[in-house]
Structure 1
Amino acid sequence: MLRPCLRLLKNKKKNAWKIVATFLVLLVVYLEAAVYFLNRSLWPSLTCAVEPTNYHRVLLVADPQLLGEETETWIARWDCDRFLSKTFKLALEYVEPSMVIFLGDLFDEGSTATDDEYERYHQRFKRIFRTADRFFASKTIYIPGDNDIGGENEDITPQKLNHFDKYFGLKPDVVSFHNVSFVKINYMLKSAPHPPSGSDKVLTILLSHMPLLGASSFFTEKVIRDMKPSLIISAHDHKAVHFVGDLETGERTLIESMSTDERSLSDSKWRFQSSKKHTNEILVPTCSYRMGVKETGYGVLLIDSKGDNVCYSVLWLPDRLYHLKIYFYVFLPVTALYLIMYFFGRNSLVRSQ
């Protein structure tokens, strides 16, 4: 009588664990695939408020900071690389950009890497951020960050500059693209090219890893007064922030952030227009979940090809840290419980025989 009851109990446990196993499989499918496509459905439309007949699409990538080999485990590097690869591919396919701009801090340990480490980091970078072949980017710009060449808490050396220049190129300082002049500003070296000469129809957009209006100094104020940019794009602080600055003094006059409430609006965007009195600076959030901020994303710039209207929005990304917590608090305990119950039930059946 006892043996049939144990068999019946064992069958019920099998059915229960089949349900649990199915749930875990579906959870993995959701966290590793479905959530990315569901999140993409919330991205803002690629239109500007003024509805220009034609505009250039620019994808902005800030602070990917590929994890280094000295301070991170292989599994941490693997998971972060997968996250960046998935989200960048989705962003490329969604935006179909005519230009991709990397705003610095490409590597987390670039400024301390040996020649061999830098080569390995670059190979990983190429695998993650593929912009050629079947993708749509026709031009790519790379800006060095303090984690690439030093400058914030570390000295900048010729070796560090040579590393970045060998794989990504430090020149040219000015990149012309249709009706836009992109000007590279190196805040760490306190260097800036001569103001580009051009007609009033050419937009001057400054590219800097560190914020210019966010870190006001004699250097930044002089750059803004001399260049009189239509727009400034920067990174470093890992957040979505907007500054307004006075073109005559180079000083900041306004600061605002893209709030969580705005993030929930699928069509939230900022629109800017060239002015002779003030300029705007956009801080692009980091795209890496390992940078200690909850909200990560890629920036999208829409530039009117016939005028001076620019729209900016953020492609917000899934909260990968939250998903890893789900694995830790749900997946691992359930799996451990299954193994305990499996061996407990097996031992009970053996004793009954």
Structure 2
Amino acid sequence: MLRRNRLKNKAIAIALLMLAAVIYNEFSVYDIQKLKWSVQECSECVKVLIVADPQILGEKNENYFGSWLAQWDSDKYLEKTFSRALDHSDPHVVVFLGDLMDEGHISSAESFKSYKRRLDSIFQMPDHIMKIYIPGDNDIGGEEDAVSSNINNRFNFAYSQPDTLVYKTVTFFKVNRLTHTMPEAPKDAFLNDYAERNTTNVILSHMPLLFMPGTFVQNVLKELSPQIIFTAHKHKAMHISLDTATDQLSEIWVLPPYETPLYRLRMDVGDIHELQIPTCSYRMGTPHTGYGLVYIDTQEKVVEFTILWLPGRFPQLWLYVFVGIFILAFSICTCISSYCIKGHAAYNRMSSI
């Protein structure tokens, strides 16, 4: 009877340990990280949440035993982190900076539809939020292979919207360095007189711009006169400033991982600021993932931004491994101990006879 109670208590202890690991890994770690994020209250600003390089896993490159589990876990990680970032930031605009899919550029029409359904399921948000989508090289090609016009048209049809979008006093221009296309500037915008106007021009580009100057970039800056640029692709968090008076980069700095201050930039001093946003997927080979959060105050001509750094998923998966090894070792020791006790009891009975 005593031995049965001991076994029952050990089983309960193992179950509680497993439950604690699941609760921490799948719920608590995200809520704990959320407490570290910065937030700003502003009545006049435009709040922008930026999603870069989610690259949901595909079917061709992820063709191995257990790939369905990797895909499911990656999707769940994105869903959990995005829902918390959305709740934390309460944005007016959500921008997707390309590379939505890992295999969009090589997928069939049917697979592309399936990937889009998964994306819509992962990144759910209310209808009143403006959503902006731009393609990346993994969506339409352009890095290791040429951009296919059919694939590019397919993406544009799936995410049909103008290349120029306006929310209150902020104008968003969608620029595609992969296809060397950009929207025309509004004819009555007087873009070069920004200091006298109550507007902010924002360029959205998957590929970095200021780091790779050229004729196309020069035309973009001249025609659209941006104050700030949001880019992705490099899976890093960086800030680059271009001094328009000298046409030289004046500042380059990497945002420290897991530090979450609100950085403040002036938009009326003649500089163009580019913010590179890190990937939000833990499958992209970098330990530092996050979402961008930007507050644009056109009236004060100020931009404040931060990175909502995310908890690493691989440490959580390793925790499952360690817990599993501990439970296995504990179970083996328990079985051996139980077997030895039974053998000892049988030996005692035989001796007494």
TM-score bucket of the superposed structures, by smaller chain:
0.7 to 0.9
How far apart, CA to CA, are the structure 2 residues paired with 1:225 and 1:249?
Answer: 14
Bigger shift: residues 22-31 or 121-130: 22-31
1:144-165, Cα deviation, whole Å (9 max, x unpaired)? 0000000111111122112212
Segments of 5+ residues of structure 1 without an aligned counterpart are 1-6
DSSP 3-state at the match of 2:126: coil
DSSP 3-state at the match of 1:124: helix
Q: 2:56 aligns with which of 63, 66, 90?
A: 66
How far apart, CA to CA, are the structure 2 residues paired with 1:75 and 1:239?
Answer: 27
| 8 Å CA contact 1:225, 1:250 repeated in 2 | no
The amino acid that maps onto 2:212 is A
Moved segments of 4+, more than 3 Å: 7-18, 248-251, 341-353
Residue 189 of structure 2 is matched in structure 1 by 198
Q: CA deviation at 1:90?
A: 1.0
| 8 Å CA contact 2:264, 2:302 repeated in 1 | yes
DSSP 3-state at the match of 2:173: strand
Q: CA deviation at 1:44?
A: 0.3
How far apart, CA to CA, are the structure 2 residues paired with 1:80 and 1:97?
Answer: 24
Residue 312 of structure 1 is matched in structure 2 by 305
Q: CA deviation at 1:243?
A: 0.3
How far apart, CA to CA, are the structure 2 residues paired with 1:187 and 1:248?
Answer: 24
How far apart, CA to CA, are the structure 2 residues paired with 1:237 and 1:168?
Answer: 23
DSSP 3-state at the match of 1:331: helix
How far apart, CA to CA, are the structure 1 residues paired with 2:27 and 2:234?
Answer: 29
How far apart, CA to CA, are the structure 2 residues paired with 1:350 and 1:112?
Answer: 62
Q: TM-score, normalised by structure 1?
A: 0.87
How far apart, CA to CA, are the structure 1 residues paired with 2:326 and 2:104?
Answer: 40
How far apart, CA to CA, are the structure 1 residues paired with 2:312 and 2:149?
Answer: 38
1:328-348, Cα deviation, whole Å (9 max, x unpaired)? 2x1221232244345545655
1:84-129, Cα deviation, whole Å (9 max, x unpaired)? 1111111111111111110000001111101111111111111101
**Closer, same or farther in 2 for the Cα pair 1:222/1:184, shift >3 Å?**
same
How far apart, CA to CA, are the structure 2 residues paired with 1:67 and 1:17?
Answer: 37
DSSP 3-state at the match of 2:283: helix
Q: TM-score, normalised by structure 2?
A: 0.87
Segments of 5+ residues of structure 2 without an aligned counterpart are 191-196, 347-353
| 8 Å CA contact 1:245, 1:279 repeated in 2 | yes
Identity of aligned residues (%): 34
Query: Alpha carbon RMSD of aligned pairs, Å?
Result: 2.2
The amino acid that maps onto 1:292 is G
Residue 26 of structure 2 is matched in structure 1 by 32
**Larger Rg computed on CA atoms:** 2
Q: 2:250 aligns with which of 249, 253, 265?
A: 253
**Closer, same or farther in 2 for the Cα pair 1:36/1:164, shift >3 Å?**
same
Q: CA deviation at 1:43?
A: 0.7
Show the 5 A alignment for 1:239-250.
239-247=236-244, 250=247
How far apart, CA to CA, are the structure 2 residues paired with 1:214 and 1:66?
Answer: 27
| 8 Å CA contact 2:21, 2:319 repeated in 1 | no
Q: CA deviation at 1:192?
A: 1.6
| 8 Å CA contact 2:39, 2:89 repeated in 1 | no
Residue 129 of structure 2 is matched in structure 1 by 138
Residue 4 of structure 1 is matched in structure 2 by none
**Closer, same or farther in 2 for the Cα pair 1:150/1:8, shift >3 Å?**
same
How far apart, CA to CA, are the structure 2 residues paired with 1:122 and 1:53?
Answer: 34
Q: 1:103 aligns with which of 87, 97, 101?
A: 97
Show the 5 A alignment for 1:143-154.
143-154=134-145
Is residue 204 of structure 2 the alignment partner of residue 214 of structure 1?
Answer: no
